[in-house]
Amino acid sequence: MTGEVFADRSRDDLPEDEAAGSAKETDPTEGVFLEPLGLYLLVERRGDRIRGSRFSPERPDKTLPDWWKEVLLRCWLGGEPVPFGLDLSGLTPFQGEVLHATSAIPPGETATYGEIAERLGRPGATRAVGTALRRNPLPLIIPCHRVVGSRGVGGYSPGVDLKRRILEVERGASPR
């Protein structure tokens, strides 16, 4: 996910089963089991764009194809750009800037809310950065868990314990 997380794939780049489903308005929520976390990552798609993700201990009715899991793991743990279109249409420009800056944090590394505010040229916007990250519609895909407080791990909508676990997995998987 280093660099450009917002990379798009054209429909021609998608496997046949994905391209065929692109005409649908909203696909049902699908999921993939992430062994390192012991949780499912549920993904809501609209056509060939991801519009939301969330964690769940429950198996979804429909699982994502195996190639999705491989790609998601490479993006999450390997830092590869996300090759799917991401639907961020519900965000303000500031929220989009925050998520874009957050996507540049490599796996196994962290930045503080204040550092993200500084990178955006808004040193007084530390709390606003936290608020923007709390509204991230794509946890794990856009790695808001890599942003921490100056005196601790900070918050995380899916739960602080999960944030700690994700960071531990990333530290163990990232080359040093």
Q: Could you tell me which residues are beta bridge partners of residue 139?
A: 142
Non-local (6+) Cβ contacts of 121 within 8 A are none
CA 89, CA 176: separation in Å to the nearest integer? Answer: 36
Amino acid at 3: G
Query: What one-character DSSP code corresponds to residue 32?
Result: E
Determine which one of 117, 132, 144, 169 is catalytic. 144
CA 2, CA 22: separation in Å to the nearest integer? Answer: 27
- 3-class secondary-structure state, position 165: helix
Of 86, 70, 87, 66, which Cα lies nearest the Cα of 78?
70
Non-local (6+) Cβ contacts of 93 within 8 A are none
CA 122, CA 87: separation in Å to the nearest integer? Answer: 25
Catalytic annotation present for 75: no
Active site residues: 144
